[in-house]
Structure 1
């Protein structure tokens, strides 16, 4: 059996293991070790496994993972999301469906310090869903707004998905963060427009009385902690003042200090944030180690070269190849979580994408958008299950039906990125 064919067989075995509910990290580890053993010999596979585990755990650039996770956890336990929602509610008052639009806006802002879509969706469910239900909002629009807004957490920097992509694809993280900002804001606007459209067509969605201009300005003072945190950490990266590692450390420390100063972070809350951050980081590093071993095997088999050659032999247009890759991502999103999708596919797809002339930074944003789509589209939609777990009176079927109009937004953004790649590449070009 040739090396490329062996690589293809092992990839198929990996998907079979995932369908059998084998954990992603274990499936990657098994396939990587067995594949390297078959390709070379057991001693080589053992050496690759040991070296990769050590290199990954000691990789300085990956220190941003636990630090950004800690920043997000502290921000969550400091109830920063409540202040963002209050400010958005006042500023967007007077609009049809103003609370749903405010939920999406607050979710996007909170994602800018959290970096996790699941955490954003879980937090905003507790904050905004009771408010919308009390105001008389339909359960469908209320929950769909939370789910769609929650998905913004992995596109608007800091994004854990982009951190993982940077490590796997060996791309500069500051450029990836810069590339995600404009598409992230656009996607938030698209979600808001859909919520407004649904609210205008519905005769039952209440309208909050419009606040005065002075009240709107004063409301912007509420989320001052968020403004400071984002400006210092992420703004420091854009301005070239901090490296991503330094910004993550400053952001985590700043979140703790602001939580203490504002008397919103208790000692038990800080301890809980540290515990969750350690556990989450351990899980992520385990997955990264397994993915790195698997990626080493894929590279050795030259499977990406085989796929690139096959696509070129079929004389497919570059857009058709990308459309096929996006379709594969959408299907995978039905049964895989986002980080697993990125770690499994990027080593295989990135050489093919680059071979057809697409920018790896641009491709990163496409991948994140498709991963976002997987968080809210049936039959899995992790954000939908997170919301349903906290609001069990709402059936999962209601959530599936309600989220359908919001699926238009990520598809529209993907089309725009194909037509105008500079939407993602303009800011990195300006800054770097």
Structure 2
């Protein structure tokens, strides 16, 4: 009865059109008020939700992405990748995807990746013969690598919510991220050959290549500093995020690309994006308290285990649930609502906790490019100027391949757990 009351009020609030965070609070209040729980619990849990050092990484990595967007760091990155891949069939598409992958390793933000790389690559893709539809779809798909390839805001949120090491999750996301990026490049190659897209008729001399590599060094230092520091155990993800903001800010000031106006733009975007995410996390903390108090996860888990025979069937069911939810709801609230319920069931079936955590994050991330509410689709519309329908048609082949790749990661756990086991031991 309690479960029907809580989840029913959550569903009604969302159907009415309330923002996700407020819908979660309404569902929590339904239980609190109906059971005469002191309202001070609501305030305590809201504050506790934001009181986490780990969550500091979210606004800082977001800020890094916007700083790169406002400076030449992203342009130099694209020039570097272009000089390496510029004469291969479908090279401009590969440059787009590889640039998105590297940019993702610096910021962890899907929309920021779409905005920064899309603004640079859209004209180049068009000049290479790519249709605007395919170009927009490719940019949106490449941007989805942002929350998959570490650092990832989704993994930070999951780690903080479920008590899992964020550093281990980052390492667990490396192989799936590179695997998905490689498969997106393969899709681009097939499309390029089928449609006859040619590589640009440009030949880079040795001096030009060295010049572009030299100019890209300020950008290439960032992933070494961030990922090397985290994986080497030198800094925590939050400390690495601080370093990335300081580095990008110093670069922007030194090159005079950061003016008071652009600094205000960066801070404004960062605050708006991060405040939304953190408010959802605070609301979910209250909802998590309700779930733990009512023992709903245990009840639901017991019901699931009585119906599903083994972990492979459960994995398939979990993937279907996450794909569907990813189409309808943003990733972070999906993680915060579903993980406390579904992850313990997976652990009972003998699934690895790290495998489940990374799988949760990367599967829901496919929702970034899935109609009707994929955030990267809307960012691509504003960045490329294409219509929503056009972007959706362009993204379809890439979306299907991403779903296949994530499914492979689900049924081959070693793709996620191998690297963390190698670095930390089993």
Is the CA contact (8 Å cut-off) linking 1:91 and 1:219 kept in structure 2? no
Partner of 1:92: 85
2:37 corresponds, among 15, 24, 42, to: 42
Q: 6, 13, 17: which is aligned to 1:10?
A: 6
Q: 1:328 aligned to 321, 334, 346, which one?
A: 321
Alignment of 1:103 onto 2:118: no
Q: CA deviation at 1:333?
A: 2.2
Equivalent pair of 2:62/2:270 in contact (CA under 8 Å): yes
Query: Could you tell me which residue of structure 2 aligns to residue 292 of structure 1?
Result: 285
The yes-or-no answer on 1:253 pairing with 2:243 is no
Render the CA deviation track for 1:263-297: whole Å, top value 9, x for unaligned. Answer: 33233222221222223222222111100000111
1:387 alignment partner, one of 364, 376, 380: 380
Kept in 2, the 8 Å contact 1:69–1:281? The answer is yes
Partner of 2:258: 265
Shift of 1:354: 1.6
Q: 2:418 aligns with which of 419, 426, 430?
A: 426
Judge which range, 185-194 or 315-324, deviates more: 315-324
> Is 1:371 matched with 2:364?
yes
Query: For residues 197-222 of structure 1, what are the alpha-carbon distances to aligned partners after superposition, in whole Å with 9 as ceiling and x for unaligned?
Result: 1101112x122236457354543333
Contact 2:76 2:212 in 1 (8 A): no
**Is residue 2:108 matched to residue 1:115?**
yes
The residue that corresponds to 1:403 in the other structure is 395
Match of 2:231 among 222, 229, 238: 238
Distance in 1, matches of 2:320 and 2:407, equals 13
Once the two structures are overlaid, the 10-residue window that deviates more, 349-358 or 411-420, is: 411-420
Shift of 1:7: 2.3
Give the 3-state SS of the residue equivalent to 2:309 in structure 1.
coil
CA contact (8 A) 1:7 1:35 kept: no
* Greater shift in the superposed pair: 309-318 or 236-245: 309-318
Q: Does structure 2 retain, via aligned residues, the 8 Å contact 1:7–1:297?
A: no
Tell me, yes or no, if the aligned pair for 2:133 and 2:391 is still in contact at 8 Å: yes
Deviation at 1:152, TM superposition (A): 0.4
Residues 402-423 of structure 1: CA deviation (Å, up to 9, x unaligned): 2221123222322322343121
- Unaligned runs of 5+ residues in structure 2 are none
TM-aligned CA deviation for residue 8 of structure 1? 4.1
Q: CA deviation at 1:345?
A: 1.3
Range moving further from structure 2, 212-221 or 349-358: 212-221
Which shifted more, 277-286 or 297-306? 277-286
**Contact 1:141–1:195 (8 Å) recurs in 2:** no
Match of 1:73 in 2: 66
Residue in structure 2 matched with residue 20 of structure 1 by the alignment: 16
Contact 2:119 2:384 in 1 (8 A): no
Question: Does the CA-based 8 Å contact 1:376-1:383 persist in structure 2?
Answer: yes
**1:280 aligned partner:** 273
1:206 aligned to which of 162, 184, 198: 198
Give the distance between the partners of 1:137 and 1:118, measured in 2 at CA. 22
- Check whether the contact 2:115–2:380 (CA below 8 A) recurs between aligned residues: yes
User: Is 1:165–2:158 an aligned residue pair?
Assistant: yes
CA shift in 2, pair 1:342/1:419, >3 Å: closer
The CA deviation string for residues 318-368 of structure 1, in whole angstroms up to 9 with x for no partner, is: 122222222122222222122222122112212122221222221222222
Q: Is the 8 A contact 1:67 1:248 kept in 2?
A: yes
Deviates more, 1:375-384 or 1:166-175: 375-384
Alpha carbons 2:331, 2:364 under 8 Å: kept: yes
Tell me by how many angstroms 1:236 deviates.
Answer: 0.3
Separation in structure 1 between the aligned mates of residue 346 and residue 308 of structure 2, nearest angstrom: 15
TM-score, structure 2 normalization: 0.94
8 Å contact kept, 1:107–1:124: yes
Matched length:
423
Deviates more, 1:176-185 or 1:267-276: 267-276
Whether 1:417 and 2:417 are equivalent positions in the alignment is no
1:226 and 2:219 are equivalent in the alignment: yes
Gaps of 5+ in 1: none
Q: Give the SS at the match of 1:153.
A: coil
1:361 equivalent in structure 2: 354
